[in-house]
A and B are shown apart, each in its own frame.
Chain A
Amino acid sequence: MPTMVYAGAQVTVNDEGFFTDPQQWREEMAPQIARDAGIQTLTDQHWQVIKFMRHEYAEKGTGPSVRALSKTSGVSIKELYQLFPKGPAKLAAKIAGIPKPRGCI
C-alpha cells in the first residue's frame, strides 16, 4: 500500500491517491492534497463541500455522486466543477480524505 506524508504525518493511500483510512485525515492536510491536485487555495466554499463529503461518508459509508452532492449541498453542479475541476465527487473525496466514491452500475 503506498504512503504519503501530509502535514508531517504518514498516511496510507491507494494507487490513485485516495485515503484508505479516513481516520488518518486531519484538516491541516487538506491544503497540501488540494495543491497536489492543482487547487492552489481552498476557499470557504471548498471547505463547505469538503466537510459535507466527510459528513456523508460518516453517515453512508461512501461519498456522494456529483448530482447527489449538488442536490444535498445546494451548490449547483456547474459551481462544483468550478471549485473542483475535472470531477468534483472524486477530487473533493480525495481532499476530504475519504475513499473514492463507488461508481454505480
Chain B
Amino acid sequence: MILGGGTGGTLIANRLRRQLADEDEITVVDRDDDHLYQPGLLFVPFGRARPEAIVRSRGRQLHAGVAYRQGAADSVDIGARRVQLGDGTVLPYDVLVIATGAALLPGETEGLAEATGRGRAFTFYDRPGAVALRGALARFDGGRIAVNVVDMPIKCPVAPIEFSFLADWYFRRRKIRDRVEITFVTPLDGAFTKAACNRELSGMLDDKRIRLVTEFNTGEVDGGRLVSFDGREVGFDLAVTVPVHGGQAYISRSPGLGDALGFVPADEQTLQAKASPNVFVIGDAADIRASKAGSVAHFEGEILTRNIASFLAGQPLSASFDGHTNCFIETGFGKALLIDFNYDTEPVTGRFPGRVGLPLLRESRLNHLGKLAFQWVYWHLLLPGRDIPGVAAGMPRAGKRLDAAQAASRGPAGTKGKV
C-alpha cells in the first residue's frame, strides 16, 4: 500500500511492480488525480510555464498491475496494519510506503493569511498561488519585493534563491529593474548552508544587487512588514513567501508514526520508518537529513525497491541510501548552476555525472537546457521508474573536485557539518 501518488509514490509503485511477483498486490492511494510537476511552479509567475501544462493524471502515470484508489487517508493504525480513509473505508496492508510529501501551513504564521487575502503576499509553492503571483508581477511596476523563507525545512531549498535570480532577470527584461528592490530573507545563516555553494550563491546575489537578510525567523506578517521573532523588520510592497511546511495532517492523527512537525522519522540509509519495520518512507514526508527534493525521491526509489523486496523475502535490508541530491539552480538569462552532493560530501566544482558532463557549481547555458529537458525526463523516465542513463542512486565521485570539498569542510565556523 502506497499512500501518495506524487513523485515518490508513483516511481516506487512502478519500480516495485517490475521487481515483485505478480501475486504481490500494489495499491496507490491519493486524495485527487492531479499529479503536479512541481519544478514547473518556479516558472509560472514569470510566464515561462503554462499552469495547465504541468499537471497530468496520477492514475495514468502508474504501470498496468498497479491499482489506483482515490481517497484521503484519515489515519494509520500501525499495530493493526491498516489505513482508514476519510469516507470510513478501512484498507489493510502488509507493507506501507508513506509518500504523501509535505504540506504548506501558511496558517502557522501570524498575519500571513490576511496579507495574502489583501493581495500583498503570495507563494509560488502551489499552482493557484503561482498563477496569482504571475498576475501580481505583471502589474508590479516598482517597489520592494521580499522573498521570504519562513522556516526550514522546505521543499527544494534552492527554489526561493532561484525565484530571486529570475525576478532580477524578469524586471531587467521589462527595463524597470532600477525601480525594484529585491531582498532575500532567510532563517539560515547564509544564502545556503553548504560552504562552497553558499560562497557562489552569495556572490551571485551581490552581482545581481539582491539584498540578503539572514537568521531572520519570521514571526509575523504585519501589513507591509515582515517581523522576526527577535524584533527585526523588513518592509515590502510585495512579499513572496515560502510558508512553513509540515507533514500531512493524517500523520499527526496516527499514533506513533510522525514527529512533532508531522514528518516520519526513518533510518536515513534503509528508509525504514522508526515506527514499525513494515512501514517505509520515500520523499518529502521523511524526517531524515536529506533535502526535500525530487532528485532525492528518485535516488531513494532504487534503494527502497531493493529493501522492500528484501523485507518481503525475510532478508536483511542491504541497500543503503547515501543522501544523494542533485539540483539545477536557475540563475536567469538562460543559464543555470548544477549541484550534486550527499550526506557526507558538499557540493563541489567539476563535472557531472563523470569527467565528461555538465559543469558543477558554475553557471552555464548547458545546465539551463538540462533543467528544461528534465521535464521530459520526469514524465518519461523518472516516474515510470526507469534508470536515467549515467545517473545512479549513489553519488558519483568521478569528475568531482573532491580536494576542494575537503578544504571547504575545514572552512570557517558555522559552515561545517551542516546538511
Q: Are A105 and B419 in contact, CB atoms less than 8 angstroms apart?
A: yes
A81-B231 Cα distance, complex, nearest whole Å: 10
Contact B188 A103 (CB under 8 A): yes
Contact of B219 among A78, A102, A105 (CB under 8 A): A78
Is A29 located at the chain interface by the 8 A CB criterion? no
Of chain A, the residue at the smallest CB distance from B261 is A68
**CB atoms of B229 and A67 under 8 A apart:** no
B144 to chain A, nearest CB (A): 25
Q: Are B261 and A103 in contact (CB under 8 A)?
A: no
Q: In the bound complex, do residue B153 and residue A104 qualify as a contact, i.e. CB atoms below 8 Å apart? A: yes
Q: Which residues of A contact B237 (CB under 8 A)?
A: none
The reply to whether the CB of A15 lies closer than 8 angstroms to some CB of chain B is: yes
* A77 contacts B by Cβ under 8 Å: yes
Within 8 A of A (CB), among B165-210: 188, 192-194
Residues of B244-299 at the interface with A, using a CB-CB cut-off of 8 Å, are 244, 259-261, 265, 289, 291
Which residue of chain A lies nearest to B412 when distances are taken between CB atoms in the complex?
Answer: A15
Contact A64 B229, beta carbon cutoff 8 Å: no
Q: Mark B381-419, 1 if CB is under 8 A from A, else 0.
A: 000000000000000000000000000000001100011
In the assembled complex, the Cα of A64 lies from the Cα of B153 at a distance in Å of 12
B230→A102 contact, CB < 8 A: no
CB-contact partner of B289 in A64, A78, A102, under 8 A: A102
Q: Is B157 an interface residue (CB 8 A)?
A: yes
Q: Among the listed B151, B157, B291, B418, which residue makes an inter-chain contact with A102, where contact means beta carbons less than 8 Å apart?
A: B418
| Residues of chain A contacted by B377 (CB below 8 angstroms) | none
Cα distance, A65 to B263, chains bound together (Å): 13
| A85→B244 CA distance, assembly (Å) | 21
Candidates A64, A72, A86, A103; contact of B193 at CB < 8 Å: A103
Do the beta carbons of B230 and A86 come within 8 Å of each other? Answer: yes
Residues of B at the A interface (CB closer than 8 Å) are 108, 151-153, 157, 188, 192-194, 215, 217, 219, 229-230, 244, 259-261, 265, 289, 291, 413-414, 418-419
Q: What would 20 more interface pairs be, CB under 8 Å, given A15-B414, A87-B230, A103-B193?
A: A16-B413, A64-B260, A65-B261, A66-B151, A67-B108, A67-B151, A67-B244, A68-B259, A68-B260, A71-B260, A72-B260, A78-B229, A86-B230, A87-B217, A102-B289, A102-B418, A102-B419, A103-B152, A103-B418, A105-B192
